[in-house]
């Protein structure tokens, strides 16, 4: 059984995917969103690998390895719940 852990400190951060060419971890959908800016919904750790769930303007959700995302360093971290 794999371990699965959720993390949200990056929720809402702008992220632009830059997946490595021909990476078997990715499908055509991942490459279709390469270079497009979305927002992180959450980060999950599965079997020691951090995957980010990234949402795009067209409402599509795509998972990427966190290391393959260019993050907006100035973006606010956390969720809207934490600002109340």
Main-chain dihedrals φ then ψ at residue 32, nearest 5 degrees? -65, -30
Contacts of 51 (CB under 8 A, 6+ apart): 43, 44, 45, 63, 64, 65, 66
Percent of the chain with pLDDT over 70: 77
Q: Which pTM was predicted?
A: 0.78
Q: Which fold, 4-76? A: SH3 type barrels. (2.30.30)
Identify the band that residue 81 occupies on the pLDDT scale cut at 50, 70 and 90. Answer: very low
Instruction: Please report the pLDDT score of residue 10 as a whole number.
Output: 87
30 vs 62: CA distance, rounded Å? 7
Domain boundaries, the chain: 4-76
Mean pLDDT for the stretch of residues 59-74: 92
């Amino acid at each position: 059984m794999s371990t699965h852990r959720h993390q949200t400190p990056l929720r809402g951060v702008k992220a632009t995917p830059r997946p490595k060419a021909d990476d078997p971890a990715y499908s055509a959908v991942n490459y279709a969103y390469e270079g497009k800016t979305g927002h992180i919904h959450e980060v999950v750790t599965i079997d020691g690998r951090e995957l980010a769930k990234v949402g795009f303007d067209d409402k599509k959700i795509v998972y990427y390895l966190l290391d393959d995302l260019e993050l907006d360093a100035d973006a606010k971290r956390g969720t809207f719940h934490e600002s109340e």
